């Protein structure tokens, strides 16, 4: 068993088949954690909970009542809460001047207000200390065209993570973010359908490859372990991408237009 054996872990954003939340949940279960998975769709959550020997609950991160019910259900089922991971997100790609008030309202609900309220509920429930992990993005630090609303809210909640770490460290609560780059998950399926587009991104990674959900799960496992003496940080789990850059939209368009981006 691993260093999180016996810990109670809740993972929000685990209702999509093989998405990052599901990969994280499976990894923690393999290491002996007791896992509560949550999201907006019952069928995949139930299947995942059965697979990992855990439990599931419906939770829309934009609904405070859902968040409260999820944390209450976790504590009722397992007796406590040790690790809370938010893997939700809304990958809007839209030009800055075309982004509407409705876009901003929804983005804020999913990526700022919801995570803020999730952390509030989690802090109240972590009576014996614990680890809070927010899945952020390299784009909260470096640029990607047509992604301002996503990037801004990710950067904002990263700073809230630092606030939580500062205020509640004396209670033994650690709070950190993990920032992947482009990652081979269902959320990025359209990009990974184009080998040429993947290569365009890959060449900006000093370690020579783009990331996987397993890379993120590995980092989350360490942040959740008792051996981790880190709080208030944003771990750039992206192979060094933030030392360089993401491609510009003009470069992406050129790759897709020259016919080399055919689906694999």
Domain ranges in the chain are 8-186+210-241
**pLDDT value of residue 260:** 54
Take residue 164 and report the two structure tokens written for it: 């939580």
Q: Where are the beta strands (DSSP E) in the chain?
A: 8-12, 34-39, 55-58, 83-86, 130-135, 173-178, 234-235
Q: What is the pLDDT of residues 50-76, one digit of tens each?
A: 999 999 999 999 999 999 999 999 999
| Residue of 193, 209, 211 lying closest to 256 (CA atoms) | 193
CA distance 118 to 114: 6
Mean per-residue pLDDT, 224-240? 97
Query: What pTM did the predictor assign?
Result: 0.95
Q: What is the overall mean pLDDT for the chain?
A: 95
Measured in Å, how far apart are the chain's first and last C-alpha atoms?
38
Q: Is the pLDDT of residue 155 over 80?
A: yes
Catalytic residue flag (residue 56): no
178: β partners: 135, 235
Q: How far is CA 218 from CA 3, 93, 195, in A?
A: 12, 28, 26
Answer positive or negative: Cα dihedral of 3, 159, 75, 106: negative
Q: CA angle, 262 as apex, 257 and 264 as ends, to 5°?
A: 160
**What fold characterizes domain 8-186+210-241?**
Rossmann fold (3.40.50)
Among 56, 90, 106, 150, the active-site one is 150
Q: What is the pLDDT of residues 162-219, one digit of tens each?
A: 999 999 999 999 999 999 999 988 777 777 888 999 999 999 999 999 999 999 999 9
């Amino acid at each position: 068993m691993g260093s999180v054996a016996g810990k109670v872990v809740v993972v929000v954003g685990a209702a999509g088949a093989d998405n990052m939340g599901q990969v994280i949940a499976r990894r923690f279960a393999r290491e002996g954690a007791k896992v509560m998975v949550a999201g907006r769709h019952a069928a995949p959550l139930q299947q995942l909970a059965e697979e990992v020997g855990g439990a599931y609950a419906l939770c829309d991160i934009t609904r405070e009542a859902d968040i409260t019910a999820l944390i209450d259900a976790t504590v009722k089922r397992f007796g406590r809460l040790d690790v809370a991971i938010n893997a939700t997100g809304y990958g809007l790609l839209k030009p800055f001047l075309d982004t509407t008030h409705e876009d901003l309202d929804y983005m804020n609900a999913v990526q700022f207000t919801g995570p803020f309220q999730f952390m509030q509920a989690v802090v109240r429930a972590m009576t014996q200390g614990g680890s809070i992990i927010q899945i952020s993005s390299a784009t909260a630090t470096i640029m990607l065209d047509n992604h301002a609303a996503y990037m801004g809210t990710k950067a904002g909640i990263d700073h809230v993570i630092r606030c939580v770490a500062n205020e509640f460290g004396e209670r033994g609560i650690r709070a950190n973010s993990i920032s992947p780059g482009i990652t081979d998950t269902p959320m990025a399926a359209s990009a990974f359908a184009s080998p040429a587009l993947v290569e365009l991104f890959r060449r900006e990674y000093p370690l020579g490859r783009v990331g996987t959900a397993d890379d993120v799960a590995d980092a989350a496992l360490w942040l959740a372990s008792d051996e981790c003496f880190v709080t208030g940080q944003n771990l750039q789990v992206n192979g060094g991408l933030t030392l360089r850059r993401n491609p510009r939209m003009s470069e992406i368009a050129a790759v897709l237009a020259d016919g080399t981006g055919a689906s694999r």
